[in-house]
Amino acid sequence: MSTTAAPPPKKVNRLGLEVVNYKGSKTTLCASCGHNSISERIVECFYELGVDPMNVAKFSGIGCSSKSPAYFLGLSHGFNGVHGRMPAIATGALLANRNLLGIGVTGDGDTASIGIGQFMHLVRRNMPMIYIIEDNGVYGLTKGQFSATADLGSTLKTGTHNDLPPFDCCALALKWGATFVARSFSGDKKQLQAIIKTAIAHRGLSLIDVVSPCVTFNDHEGSTKSYSYVKDHEEALHELSFVPFFEEISVEIPEGEVRDVEMHDGSHLRIRKLDRDYDPTDRIAALAVLEEASKKHEVLTGVLYLDTTKPTFIDLLNMTDEQVATLPQSKVRPSRAALDEAMEELR
């Protein structure tokens, strides 16, 4: 029967977990690195949606970006793999346990340079997982070389010009099979949150290309991935908000202004029109706006494409609902009669 006032109740999500349960270890990346903002958004989104962190597996390749899974979701298993080959590890792990929510974090070098092959095949399989490219157009850990997403004509700190055109990872993902494709900016908190939440709810490959400036090697005049360049050139396709399945949709939808897309789990992605009509279920239109934006040197952000109907790779494999990794012996070792049958055929 204490007479002192009770401490204010701790803020928890629908699982009773606090936001601290979604944090990782302290970041070792540079101060103001765009990647740190993305880690913060991941923490917020997983916390706010009440995702069980013990059901999440984190994957990464090599590079600054790929260190970041240590800095969020400390209660989740994580795997820092080899350069450019996170997709293979993630695919194997998620086939072993299809009930995990997989999130991969990679960089532009890791994905578009060394890892372009694995990236394309992951896309082609529509492997159900979240795939975030922390895209700064430059190699940080090896101290500032161009990657394959660096824009034509952009320069390094040393003044070196980039003579080759960039891969647009969103365009590649659109063309070859990803079912959720979005581009955002690490500095755009609200938009990135809505996109990550949609990715969590999506069943299929969610490709999120986040322009995430490198403050040490690529934030100068002449860079097209600097904070100031992106702020000046960002063009949002639309305004996004995400309504999770456990919240009532309270606001009436004004005809023609807002489009609601229902996700598998009953959540809604709410897309509010800005200055253009844009249909994110039209793949051809998505490719066209990217091409147009590229010509105008715009950084076009928002949800480029969303298809909630296409079967995932796991659907195609006709796998049992239970994770195969831990099936009991009775399910994975055929009977004595089966062996007898196989032997008899060979006699």
Interface ranges with another protein (CB under 8 A): 21, 53-57, 59, 69-70, 74-82, 85, 87-97, 99-100, 117-118, 121, 317-321, 323-327, 329, 331-334, 336, 338-339, 342-343, 346-347
294 or 323: CB nearest another protein = 323
75 or 236: CB nearest another protein = 75
- Output the CA angle 299-134-226, nearest 5 degrees: 50
- The sign one gets for the Cα dihedral 114, 100, 176, 288 is negative
CB of 18 to another protein, least distance (A): 12
CB of 301 to another protein, least distance (A): 30
72 or 278: CB nearest another protein = 72
Q: Identify whether the C-beta of residue 302 lies closer than 8 Å to the C-beta of residue 194.
A: no
50 or 222: CB nearest another protein = 50
DSSP letters for 134-203:
EE-SEETTTTSEE-TTSPTT-B-TT-PBP-SPPP-HHHHHHHHT-SEEEEEETT-HHHHHHHHHHHHH-S
CB of 77 to another protein, least distance (A): 4
Q: Give the total residue count for the chain.
A: 347
57 or 293: CB nearest another protein = 57
Rounded CA separation 27/24 (Å) = 8
CB of 29 to another protein, least distance (A): 13
CB of 7 to another protein, least distance (A): 22
Structural tokens at position 340: 């007898």
